[in-house]
Every structure is written in C-alpha cells, then in structure tokens.
C-alpha cells in the first residue's frame, strides 16, 4: 500500500517565493538568485516528503507563478503580443510578461486573464487558443525538474495537467471552433514529453483531469478516451495515474473507469460515497489501483483516522492492499505549510491547535494511515492513533465549540426572519421620503485609501506602541477628514472610510466568537499573492457591536447620510477555513444572525443606510450545476436574514465585484437589497445587460470607473457610461459610484476621480 502525494505548497514555509519574486520584479535580485531560491524550495519540499515516508513524491508541482501558465509555456501556447518577449531568449521574462504584463524597450503588454481554479481561491492564468493554434515543446520544465530531483537523490512522480483539462481551462480567442477540437494537434506534444520522461526512466506520471468532476459533453468525454487510449498504446510501460478531485466522477464514472490507466486518484473528502459507487460498479479493471484521497487537502482540520480507516478497509477488502494507495484529497497547495510555526497561543490556543493539520502534518497523516491500515503498526503509530482519536473526541466535546443559545436561535428562525416587512415597492416610497436623495445619487463602496501612515498606526497599536486612546484619536482624525472631503466634493451618501479595518473578513472575524487566527497560515491565491483565512472552529456569535462606534462617529460629524459598512455572511464564510463538523449552510446562518444583530444596532444608532458586501456569492457556486439551486437557496437566505431586521425606511445596499450575473440574476434579485452596486466600468457597462434584460426591479449602481488603476477618468467618460446605463435601466433606479472600494488607491487620484464622478452625476441630472 503506497503513500501518494499530489502536490506540495511551493510558496515556502515563510513565503520565501513570494518575497523573492517581488524582489526580482522590482529589480532587487537577479534571475539567477530567484531561480536558486526556487530550487531550494523544491529540494526542501522533497526532503520533507521523503522524511515523512511518502512513496510517490511529486515533481513539477513547483511553479514561479502558476502551473497552468507553466504548461502553456511548455506547450508553446504564447499569444502573439508576447512573442517579442520570447525573442529575448529569457524564458523567465516571457513568463512574467504573460503573468503580470510588462513594459520594456518600447514594448507594452498587459497581463493575461486570470480566473479561479475550480471552486478554490487559487487563480490561474487562462490559456488562449486560436483556431489554427499550433503546439510545440517550448520548455522542458517538467523533464528538468525530474532530472533535478534525481540528481538531488529523489525519485519523483512528474505531475502534469491532462490535455483535456488543459484545453477546457482555456478560452477561444477567435470564433468558429471549440478548443476541445484542438486535441489532435495537442496530443503529439504530450507524446514528446512522455517520450522524454520515458527516456529518463520515469516510472509514474500523474495526469490531473479535474474536469472529470464537472458536467462534460460527449465530445469532451470522447477526447478523454482518445487521449488515454493513445497514451497507453504508445507508452504501455509508463504508469499513468489519473487524478480527479474537488468532486466525484458523477455521470462521467463509466467513461473514467474505462480509461486504460495504472491508477485512479479520487477525492473521498468531498465525495466519500463514490468509493461504494466505484467498488459496486465492477468497472474497475483487474489490477487497476485506487489512490484514496482521504486527507483533506483544502481545509485545515486534523484527519479523523477512524473514519478514514473505515474507508480504507472497505477498499482493501474489495481490492487487496496492493491495489490501494493513501493520499491527500487534492494537491496541498490549498493548505498552509506548517502548523509547527504557529506559536502564538493568544490567537490560536493549544486547544484549537490540536485539532488542526497543515500540509506538513497532512503528509504525516497519510503515512500514519497507511501504517495503521497495514500490519506495520509500530508503537509510535499506535501512539499517533490514540492521539488522533483523543484530539477528535476533544473537538467534539469542546465547550468552546458549542453555544446552545446560537443553536437554538438558528433552529427558531422562521420564514419572516428572512423577509423585510414590506415589498420593495412600498419600502422604496418610504425611503424616498426619509432620505430625500437627488436623482443619480452618488456614493462610494466603503474604503478610502489605506495610506502607509494608517497601516503604521495599526501596526503600532497591535504592538502596544500606541494606546487605544491614541489609536482611536488618529483614526477619528482620518475619518473626519474623509467625511469633510466627501462633503466638499458633493457626494450624497458618505462612508466613514474603513480605516480601522485590516481586511474585510478578518476585521469581523476578530470580533466574533467562534473564530481563530493563524500567524503564518498563508495560502497562495495567485502569483506572489497569498491570503491567510481565519479559522471558523465553533458556533458563531457576536458578543458586542462591531462597527457601530465608527459609523456613529462619522454620522456625528456630518449632516449628510453616512452609510454603515458590513461584510455579508456568505463572503465571511467563503473567505475562511470553515468547520467541517456541520453543514456550511448552518455556519453561514449563524454568521447571518450575527450580522443581523449588527444591522439592527446600526439602525438603532441612527444609521439609515447600511451596506452588506457580498463579493463572494458567485464564487461559492458548486462545480456541478445540479447542486447550484441548493447552495443559492441557503446563501441568498443567509443574506436576507442578515438584512431583514430593520424597518422599511432603512435602506439596505449590497455590493459585488466581478459581476458576471447572467445565470444567477434571479437569485441576485431574490436578495432583495434596496440598492446593489456592481463592477461595470471595465466591461463598458456590458455587465449591466443581465440586469436590464431581467428588468431588475430594485435600485442599482453600476460602477462608473475602474479602481484597479491609478488613472483619473474624465467626467465625460463617466457621463458616456451613465448614458449607456440610462439607456437600459430606468434613471430613477440608477446610482453613481466607483467599481469597488478605494483602499488600494492614493489620495491624490481618489480625490480627482471622485470630483469628476460628482460632476458627471450633476450633468446627468441637468439632462433630465
Ligand atoms: N466595502 C469594501 C471596500 O470598500 C468592499 C470591498 C470588496 O468589494 N471587495 O473595501
Ligand atoms: Zn468590490
């Protein structure tokens, strides 16, 4: 029974790769230095895995930016505009030009498009295909890294994204073809790679085909059969491991199991029942191996050995120990590196820490499980088993997890708790009377520039170098100045600026019960960007108001309306590590009740407009369409619970970025926010069409300028966009605002842009 790992975090346990990449980009270290740091990380990762006892250690799981971009470079899929960078013969420069855009010697290219890797928070660079796309072996990274490992003394299993998933991850840059049609042209390059690996005496190769977990067309399924049949014919001696993860095979089961490969890897964390499906189907050909993904690669909880051993036992009973491998559910790039680095007992108590496992610990779990499942149990394994059992019992019984008041409150929720008192048409008139806003009311999305100064105050406050009173005084001054600017520029609905917040989820998590924080629990989001999600370990409740003080302060210094600013329950859930001992929907509902209390308290404090941000609603959608409805039902309900505790004349806003809403517009409307602000300027208002076609009934603020760039737009540009919006949405439903929060911008450009924005709104009012 072998132990198998699909991929190891490549950022380095102290984010060495992030730091080195950023130094290289700013010209502070050389390419050779960066390459050396990459090499070191690889070597360390291989050493950790071998020391733990992993049999099938991956190579080519390292990447300087993204594994999909690595493969595009390997296969020569380079969009035309980057060709000039290729000529310079420095692969790294071409690579980063595609990843990040570049300006050099008169060349000026933007970055390639980035999008989410399935339902994770990892983002990959989208391959671009033309109708006559050619493929050729441009980079030998996969072969080089195998050789590098060998020289360092490691026999590894190269990992590559399978050809079908690679094509499906990309997009067509021209009309008149489907990218899956390119399979015939693509396969020969894969064969080149396999030939070279075979020449190096590689034994095992892992092909990732995570699209097997999605709804596939017949043509796509046929491409899978063609691919793996041909590989088997040409390379009968290579042992191909076909890896699927993030969901089960579903209706692709029969196709998948018919493929002539050496082993299948399956994700038993997301889909434990599929083990029965596979074993009962009798479709697994004789001798084929099953790699059981029993250790969660996506979350930070310690494995439950008893549970896993039951699954493993079931598999070995049917297949024998030789045909079963033990593995994490997916690549560990979605886990933080090493729990041993968590030494801050204040934010992560020993009690909670004993329930967790990061990548390094997960590797150990895989090996221990294997030992426990075979007859090689040593005293140490036995001790580890007992420790694991105890930790899991402790977790179930822990008083800090369970809060009966919260559970009872969730159980007592009734229909009316997720409904405003009156329908929008009635609320609307009351809000018009109460708020007296002009046509085309202007507002912002919440945050104003977080200057280095503001950040330094927070750092000093956290270190104890500023007292709470001193810190508050500084923030009050910044907030008041921001209010004054908004008044002077003529904005109608003001915000306090969010200067007290580090991050829109962490700020709330820190004040809610049921959340813990890590010091070093970084996970790669894209390129050098890493995130450190909070850990939701227990029932969530709100001991005290979280934002009322700042909203109230801001409202006290102005006679205009100040909008209260909250993060919504789905976004808090989505951007955290969520407990796995109850359904996500229950945890989300608990958060919703906490936010509801905050909304009610804001109203009591005299705040008449309250925004509940939900930028992550869309990314929570399950991979399979048939599961969308269930998710949307509880997610939208959670938002409504958070928003429905106030009277009709209190106006609820929500905000979402990346607003591709065509397929869920009914659900967005069901949220029943009085006003929604969305990102729109980069698409020239095209994203608004979904709302227009649907005849979206409530008010809507399509972003009129892009906050991702320092560029100051002219009022005329914004008038043009507003006219486009006014052509499809009744003007008394329209708001005027930027695309998103302004926290990453400088003050100078922010002021100029907002002054232009108010000018644009005034011009629109005159034209009416
Ligand atoms: N209110 C938040 C801000 O302005 C919203 C951020 C977001 O949508 N991602 O920063
Ligand atoms: Zn936004």
For residue 574, which ligand has an atom nearest its CA?
1
Q: Does 619 carry a binding-site annotation?
A: yes
Q: Which residues contact 162 (CB under 8 A, 6 or more apart)?
A: 207, 208, 209, 227, 242
Name the E strands within 117-155: 123-125, 128-129
**How much is the average pLDDT of 306-326?**
97
Where does residue 511 fall: left (phi above 0), alpha (psi -120 to 50 degrees), or beta otherwise? alpha
> How far apart are the CA of 316 and the centre of ligand 2, in A?
49
> How far apart are the CA of 266 and the centre of ligand 1, in A?
37
CB 366 within 8 A of CB 48: no
For residue 657, which ligand has an atom nearest its CA?
2
Q: What is the pLDDT of residue 220?
A: 98
**How much is the average pLDDT of 206-214?**
98
Among candidate residues 635, 637, 493, the one with its CA nearest the CA of residue 565: 493
Ligand 1 atom showing the smallest separation from residue 740 Cα:
8
Tokens of 310: 């039951």
Q: What is the pLDDT of residue 658?
A: 72
Q: Which residues contact 722 (CB under 8 A, 6 or more apart)?
A: 440, 704, 734, 736, 760, 761, 764
Q: Does 670 carry a binding-site annotation?
A: yes
Instruction: Please write the tens of the pLDDT for every residue from 524-535.
Output: 999 999 999 999
Q: Does 113 carry a binding-site annotation?
A: no
**Pick the residue with more confidence: 550 or 376?**
550
Q: What is the pLDDT of residue 122?
A: 95
Tokens of 387: 């420790």
Q: Does 723 carry a binding-site annotation?
A: no
Ligand 1 atom showing the smallest separation from residue 444 Cα:
4
Residue 13 is given by DSSP the state T
Q: What is the pLDDT of residue 566?
A: 98
> How far apart are the CA of 72 and the centre of ligand 2, in A?
30
Residue 173 is given by DSSP the state S
What are the b/e assignments for 675-693, b being 16+ CB within 10 Å? bbbbbbbeeebebbebbee
- Residues with catalytic roles: 708
Q: How far is CA 723 from the centre of its chain?
A: 34
> How far apart are the CA of 358 and the centre of ligand 1, in A?
29
Q: Does residue 108 sit in helix, strand or coil?
A: strand
Residue with the nearest Cα to atom 9 of ligand 1?
A: 615
CA atoms within 13 A on the CB side of 197: 30
Q: What is the pLDDT of residue 88?
A: 60
CA–CA separation, 416 and 427 (whole Å) = 16
Q: What percent of the chain has pLDDT over 70?
A: 99
| 196: pLDDT strictly greater than 90 | yes
Task: Report whether residue 446 contacts ligand 1, using a CB cutoff of 6 Å.
Answer: yes
CA–CA separation, 349 and 338 (whole Å) = 16
Task: Report whether residue 615 contacts ligand 1, using a CB cutoff of 6 Å.
Answer: yes
> How far apart are the CA of 36 and the centre of ligand 1, in A?
38
Q: What is the pLDDT of residue 657?
A: 87
Residue-by-residue DSSP string for 662-686: GGGHHHHHHT--SEEEE--GGGTTG
Task: Report whether residue 563 contacts ligand 1, using a CB cutoff of 6 Å.
Answer: no
Burial class (CB in 10 A: 0-12, 13-18, 19+), 709: exposed
Q: What is the pLDDT of residue 89?
A: 56
Q: What percent of the chain has pLDDT over 90?
A: 93
Q: What is the pLDDT of residue 103?
A: 75
Per 3-state DSSP, what percentage of the chain is helix, strand, and coil (rounded to 5)? 50, 15, 35
Task: Report whether residue 745 contacts ligand 1, using a CB cutoff of 6 Å.
Answer: no
Residue with the nearest Cα to atom 1 of ligand 1?
A: 446
CB 187 within 8 A of CB 195: no
Q: What is the pLDDT of residue 499?
A: 98
CB 439 within 8 A of CB 731: yes
Q: What is the pTM of this model?
A: 0.95
- What are the CA-CA distances from residue 710 to residues 643, 746, 758 (Å)? 34, 8, 18
Where does residue 53 fall: left (phi above 0), alpha (psi -120 to 50 degrees), or beta otherwise? left
CA–CA separation, 38 and 46 (whole Å) = 13
Ligand 1 atom showing the smallest separation from residue 656 Cα:
8
Neighbours of ion ligand 2 (CB under 5 A): 615, 657, 740
Among candidate residues 475, 496, 511, 505, the one with its CA nearest the CA of residue 597: 511
Task: Report whether residue 743 contacts ligand 1, using a CB cutoff of 6 Å.
Answer: yes
Task: Report whether residue 738 contacts ligand 1, using a CB cutoff of 6 Å.
Answer: no
Task: Report whether residue 740 contacts ligand 1, using a CB cutoff of 6 Å.
Answer: yes
Q: What is the pLDDT of residue 759?
A: 98
Residue located via tokens 């060349």: 107
Instruction: Please write the tens of the pLDDT for every residue from 366-412.
Output: 999 999 999 778 999 999 999 999 999 999 999 999 999 999 999 99
Task: Report whether residue 579 contacts ligand 1, using a CB cutoff of 6 Å.
Answer: no
How confident is the prediction for the chain on average, in pLDDT? 96
Tokens of 617: 């609603």
Instruction: Please write the tens of the pLDDT for every residue from 705-740.
Output: 999 888 999 999 999 999 999 999 999 999 999 999
> How far apart are the CA of 426 and the centre of ligand 2, in A?
28
CA–CA separation, 8 and 276 (whole Å) = 29
CA–CA separation, 191 and 230 (whole Å) = 9
Q: How far is CA 391 from the centre of its chain?
A: 29
Strands 529-531 and 289-295 turn out to be unpaired
Q: What is the pLDDT of residue 669?
A: 98
**How much is the average pLDDT of 78-92?**
81
CB 413 within 8 A of CB 589: yes
Instruction: Please write the tens of the pLDDT for every residue from 221-266.
Output: 999 999 999 999 999 999 999 999 999 999 999 999 999 999 999 9
Helix 404-411 vs helix 584-604: crossing angle, to nearest 10: 90
Q: Does 740 carry a binding-site annotation?
A: yes
CB 443 within 8 A of CB 492: yes
CB 358 within 8 A of CB 337: yes
SS (H, E, C) 560-605: CEEEEEEECHHHHHHCCEECCCCCHHHHHHHHHHHHHHHHHHHHHC
Ligand 1 atom showing the smallest separation from residue 567 Cα:
1
Among candidate residues 421, 283, 302, the one with its CA nearest the CA of residue 369: 302
The partner residues of 159 in beta bridges, in order of sequence, read 206
């Amino acid at each position: 029974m072998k132990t198998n790992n699909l991929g190891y975090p490549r950022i380095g346990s102290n984010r060495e790769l992030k730091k080195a990449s950023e130094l290289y980009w700013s010209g502070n270290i050389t390419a050779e230095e960066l390459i050396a740091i990459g090499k070191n990380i690889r070597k360390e990762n291989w050493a950790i895995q071998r020391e733990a006892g992993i049999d099938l250690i991956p190579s080519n799981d390292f990447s300087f930016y993204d594994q999909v971009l690595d493969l595009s470079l390997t296969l020569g899929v380079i969009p035309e505009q980057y060709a000039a960078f290729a000529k310079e013969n420095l692969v790294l420069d071409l690579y980063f030009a595609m990843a990040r855009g570049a300006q050099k010697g008169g060349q000026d290219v933007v970055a390639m498009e980035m999008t989410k890797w399935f339902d994770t928070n990892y983002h990959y660079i989208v391959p671009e295909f033309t109708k006559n796309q050619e493929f050729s072996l441009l980079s030998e990274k996969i072969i080089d890294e195998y050789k590098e490992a060998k020289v360092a003394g490691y026999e590894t299993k190269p990992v590559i994204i399978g050809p079908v998933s690679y094509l499906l991850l990309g997009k067509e840059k021209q009309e008149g073809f489907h990218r899956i049609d390119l399979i015939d042209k693509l396969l020969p390059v894969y064969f080149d790679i396999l030939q070279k690996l075979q020449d190096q005496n590689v034994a095992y190769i892992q092909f990732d085909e995570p699209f097997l977990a999605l709804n596939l067309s017949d043509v796509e399924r046929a491409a899978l059969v063609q691919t793996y049949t041909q590989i088997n014919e040409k390379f009968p001696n290579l042992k191909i491991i076909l890896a699927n993860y993030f969901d089960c095979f579903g209706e692709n089961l029969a196709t998948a199991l018919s493929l002539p490969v050496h082993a299948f890897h399956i994700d038993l964390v997301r889909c434990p029942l599929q083990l029965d499906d596979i074993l009962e189907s009798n479709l697994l050909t004789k001798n084929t191996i099953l790699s059981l993904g029993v250790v969660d690669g996506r979350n930070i909880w310690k494995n439950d050995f008893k549970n896993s051993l039951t699954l493993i036992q079931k598999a070995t009973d049917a297949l024998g120990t030789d045909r079963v491998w033990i593995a994490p559910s997916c690549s560990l790039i979605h886990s933080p590196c090493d729990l041993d680095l968590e030494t801050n007992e204040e934010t992560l108590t020993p009690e909670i820490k004993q329930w967790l496992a990061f990548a390094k610990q997960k590797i150990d779990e895989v090996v221990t499980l294997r030992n426990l499942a075979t007859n090689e149990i040593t005293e140490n394994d036995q001790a580890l088993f007992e420790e694991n059992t105890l930790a899991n019992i402790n977790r179930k019984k822990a008083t800090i997890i369970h809060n009966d008041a919260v559970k009872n409150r969730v159980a007592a929720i009734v229909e009316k708790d997720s409904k405003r008192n009156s329908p929008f048409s009635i609320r609307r008139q009351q809000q018009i009377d109460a708020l007296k806003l002009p046509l085309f009311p202007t507002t912002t999305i919440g945050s104003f520039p977080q200057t280095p100064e503001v950040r330094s105050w927070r750092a000093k406050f956290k270190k104890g170098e500023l007292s709470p009173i001193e810190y508050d005084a500084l923030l009050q001054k910044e907030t008041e100045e921001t209010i004054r600017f908004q008044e002077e520029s003529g904005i109608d609905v003001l915000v306090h600026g969010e200067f007290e917040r580090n991050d829109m989820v962490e700020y709330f998590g820190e004040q809610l019960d049921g959340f813990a924080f890590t010091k070093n629990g970084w996970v790669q989001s894209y390129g050098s960007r890493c995130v450190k999600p909070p850990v939701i370990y227990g029932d969530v409740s709100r001991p005290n108001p979280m934002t009322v003080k700042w909203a109230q302060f801001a409202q006290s210094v102005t006679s205009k309306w100040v909008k209260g600013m909250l993060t919504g329950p789905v976004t808090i859930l989505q951007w955290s590590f969520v407990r796995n001992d109850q359904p996500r929907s229950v945890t989300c509902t608990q958060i919703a009740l906490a936010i509801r209390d905050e909304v009610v308290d804001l109203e009591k404090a005299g705040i008449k407009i309250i925004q509940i941000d939900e930028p992550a609603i869309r990314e929570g959608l399950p991979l399979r369409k048939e599961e969308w409805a269930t998710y949307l039902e509880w997610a939208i309900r959670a938002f409504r619970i958070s928003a429905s505790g106030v009277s009709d004349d209190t106006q609820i806003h929500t905000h979402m970025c990346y607003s591709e809403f065509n397929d869920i517009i009914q659900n967005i409307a069901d949220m029943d926010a009085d006003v929604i602000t969305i990102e729109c300027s980069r698409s020239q208002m095209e994203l608004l069409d979904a709302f227009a076609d649907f005849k979206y009934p409530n008010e809507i603020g399509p972003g009129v300028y892009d906050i991702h760039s320092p560029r100051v737009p002219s009022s005329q540009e914004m008038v043009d966009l507003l006219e486009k919006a006014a052509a499809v949405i009744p003007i008394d439903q329209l708001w005027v605002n930027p695309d998103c929060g302004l926290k990453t911008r400088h003050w100078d450009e922010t002021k100029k842009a907002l002054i232009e924005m108010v000018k644009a709104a005034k011009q629109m009012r005159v034209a009416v």
